[in-house]
Every structure is written in C-alpha cells, then in structure tokens.
Amino acid sequence: MSGSLLDLRSQLRFYKFYHHNSVNVGIHSIFVPTILVFSASLLHRIVLFDSITLTHVCTIGYIIYYCLLSFPVGIFASSLLLLINVSLDQKWLHTTLKQDLTIFTISWICQFIGHGFFEHKKPALLDNLVQSLVLAPYFILFELFFKLGMFHELDIQLQNDIAMMSH
C-alpha cells in the first residue's frame, strides 16, 4: 500500500487510508505537531558531537525527504522544522524531561483514542512505524493546505483513492 517512497500521492494515500475520519484528523492535527515538538525536545538532549544533537540529524533527514516528495511544501516544512531547532538551540523552548515525556505520552494516548473511538481503524504505525512517524507531520501539513483550498486536485485524487480502497 505504501507505493514508491518518493511518490507524494502514494505516501499521502498510505497515511490518509488510516486517517479520514474528520474528528480523528482533527485530533491528529493537534497532537502530531505536539509530538513532533516534544520528540525534538527529547532528542535534543542527546548530543552526538560538539553541539550537534540527534534532533539536528533527524531534521536533516526530514528536510531531504520532504523536499524530495514536494519541493515547495518541503521548503515550507523545512522552515517549520528549522524553527523548532532554533527554539531548542536558543532555549526559547525549554522544558524538563518530565514535561517532555508527559506531554509526549498524553499526545500519543489522544491519538490512539482518535483511532479507537472515531476512526475505528488501527493506527498506521502498526503497519509501518518509520513511514508513519516521518509522514505524519507532512500529512498534517497537507491537511491544512487542503483546508485552505490548496492542492485541490491532489485532495480529490486522495479522496477517490481511499473510496476505491474501501470498496
């Protein structure tokens, strides 16, 4: 179901297949960014060398992948990821380990509730953990763009793909 790793439509289709209930998408729209920020905060505590953290390395990977999927959206997503990095580097966002873990855990619980009560479908991460964790923030960004009327043709294609998969 995941298609080519560099095919935007197949990647978004993989994620959308698990997330097309509007309440569940709303829950994910709040908690995927929350998980992203607090995961970055957690990983920022792991210094690999000098002042380079695991967050910095992961950010580079996300930026490259997102730009390969869609350059314009990848650039926008990159700016958000870099803002998270700067916020952590400059200590504009400074939380304790306990705060990070608490918010991270609550965010995951909320997403599982979204799947159980509203989507009635297992989370995508149970089928492909890495793809789900990397694609989730990008998917939520696209959901925002779709709500703003952008990428309308892609949105319609994805809706049609999901309808065909459900039959």
Backbone φ, ψ for residue 49 (5° rounding) = -165, 150
Spatial separation of the C-alpha atoms in residues 63 and 153, rounded to whole Å: 24
Pairwise CA distance, residues 52 & 99, whole Å: 23
Q: What is the pLDDT of residue 3?
A: 62
Tens of pLDDT along 85-142?
999 999 999 899 999 999 999 999 999 999 999 998 888 888 888 778 899 999 999 9
pLDDT in tens, 147-157: 999 999 999 99
| pLDDT given at position 69 | 97
Phi, then psi, of 110 in degrees rounded to 5: -60, -40
Assessment of whether the complete model's pTM goes beyond 0.85: yes
